[in-house]
């Protein structure tokens, strides 16, 4: 049973998702949270991870640590996206298992599902067809993490569960144009174009793919839900169950930012998966549902961007 003084280690606590989980746990009175930076603990190093888990003895590990990026980064650095993510999650999962951690929550991504799977994406569609080539390396790593947690759950009857979020965005996001995801990249592009006399904004692809977006605080709430309840299955989608075209997304962001110029779609650039909508009925049936609508979430994200724009640094791969 998880108590307010249970020791909870959040791997990746400085990232967008990890920091949101930290904030919500703190607000709910959890008093024994552990977080260390990547400079203090390199999660790619098996011995360091095992020594850390042995020393801190967490009751729960929440794995929000990952090497992440958009289409460009995934295309340019396939080996790093495959290997480093497998190293991080395998070290955490195995140390948790070997050293008697009671509960493990593994966070993945909706990209684990086949490129042309029937919509909306159900959990049982995993491994039924081929992946989207532009992010298959990251997806393969995350699939291996899901399967490792499932294997431990099946073989040793431990409470290891995987949550697969849809596209996440929010405060503390990555706004670097070479490595960020589509929504924060658009916020930055429209903002800088607004400052540059409402210059033309060039966006990748045709604008026709459909995507679903979840505000990061809602994802954090789903993690806390999984923490406070023993979920009966090994894999759960986390999202809104609502999608829109990338072109519609651009128009919403353009309006919120206040950009008055034109948008040009560069259809020589890849679109990625045509549609990626999550079936979130399993989580909703248990009692969790998202609370923040897209416009509200984008406004909160843009407000945070404006407050921190001077500190936002370019992320180098």
Sequence-ordered list of residues with C-beta below 8 angstroms from that of 235, at least 6 positions apart, any chain: 123, 126, 146, 150, 161, 162, 164
Known catalytic membership, residue 169? no
Asked if residues 78 and 137 have their Cβ atoms less than 8 Å apart, the reply is: yes
* 100 known member of a binding site: no
Phi, psi of 11 (to 5 degrees): -75, 130
Residues 41 and 10: their CA atoms lie apart, in Å, by 12
- The whole-angstrom separation of Cα 63 and Cα 223 is 10
Q: Was 17 annotated as part of a binding site?
A: yes
The answer on whether 13 is annotated among ligand-binding residues is: yes
Find out whether 241 is annotated in a ligand binding site: no
Q: Is 145 annotated as a binding residue?
A: no
**Residue 167 CB neighbour total at 10 angstroms:** 19
Neighbours of 158 (CB within 10 A): 17
189 annotated binding-site participant = yes
Q: Is 181 annotated as a binding residue?
A: yes
- For residue 287, say whether it is annotated as part of any ligand binding site: no
Q: Is 45 assigned to a binding site?
A: no
308 a known binding residue? no
97 is an annotated ligand-binding site residue: no
Q: Who contacts 103 (Cβ-Cβ below 8 Å, separation ≥6)?
A: 2, 59, 60, 61, 158, 159, 160, 227
**Extended beta strands in 43-89, E state:** 60-63
On whether 91 is known to bind a ligand per the annotation, the reply is no
18 is in an annotated binding site: yes
| 16 marked ligand binding residue | yes
Cα(34)–Cα(60) distance, integer angstroms: 10
Q: Is 204 annotated as a binding residue?
A: yes
Beta carbons of 175 and 305 less than 8 angstroms apart: yes
**Cβ contact 115:136 at 8 Å:** no
d(CA 312, CA 293): 25
Task: Establish whether 108 is an annotated binding residue.
Answer: yes
Q: Which residues lie across from 237 on neighbouring strands?
A: 164
Q: Which two tokens stand for residue 76?
A: 């340019």
> 138, 169, 234, 302: which is the annotated catalytic residue?
138
- Residue 168, annotated ligand binder? yes
What is the enclosing helix (H) or strand (E) of 282?
helix 281-286
109 in a known ligand binding site: yes
CA dist list (Å): 114 to 41, 119, 123, 139, 180? 34, 11, 11, 10, 22
Residues in binding site for NADP(+): 12-18, 107-110, 142, 165-168, 181
Residues in binding site for substrate: 189, 204, 211, 271
Residues in binding site: 12-18, 107-110, 142, 165-168, 181, 189, 204, 211, 271
- Active-site residues, by number, are 138
């Amino acid at each position: 049973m998880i108590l307010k003084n249970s020791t909870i280690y959040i791997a990746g606590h400085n990232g967008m998702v990890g920091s949101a989980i930290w904030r919500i746990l703190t607000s709910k009175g959890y008093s024994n949270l552990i977080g260390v930076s990547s400079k203090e603990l390199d999660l790619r190093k098996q011995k360091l991870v095992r020594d850390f888990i042995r020393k801190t003895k967490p009751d729960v590990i929440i794995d929000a640590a990952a090497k992440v990026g958009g289409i460009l980064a995934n295309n340019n650095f396939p080996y790093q996206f495959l290997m480093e993510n497998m190293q991080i999650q395998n070290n955490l999962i195995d140390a948790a298992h070997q050293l008697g951690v009671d509960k493990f929550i593994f966070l993945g991504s909706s990209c684990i599902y086949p490129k042309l799977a029937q919509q909306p994406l159900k959990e049982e569609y995993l491994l039924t067809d081929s992946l989207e080539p532009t992010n298959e390396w990251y997806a393969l790593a995350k699939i291996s993490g899901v399967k490792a947690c499932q294997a431990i759950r099946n073989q040793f009857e431990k409470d290891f569960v995987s949550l697969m979020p849809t596209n996440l965005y929010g405060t503390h996001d990555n706004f670097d144009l070479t490595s960020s995801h589509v929504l924060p990249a658009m916020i930055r592009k429209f903002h800088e174009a607004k400052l540059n006399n409402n210059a033309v904004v060039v966006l990748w692809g045709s604008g026709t793919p459909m995507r679903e977006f979840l505000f990061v605080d809602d994802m954090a709430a789903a993690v806390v839900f999984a923490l406070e309840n023993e979920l009966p299955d090994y894999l759960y989608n986390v999202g809104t169950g609502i999608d829109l075209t990338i072109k519609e997304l651009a128009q919403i962001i353009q309006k919120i930012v206040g950009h008055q110029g034109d948008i040009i779609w560069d259809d020589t650039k890849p679109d990625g998966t045509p549609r990626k909508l999550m079936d979130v009925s399993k989580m909703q049936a248990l009692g969790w549902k998202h609370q923040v609508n897209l416009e509200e979430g984008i406004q909160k994200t843009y407000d945070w961007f404006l407050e921190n724009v001077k500190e936002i640094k370019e992320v180098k791969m």
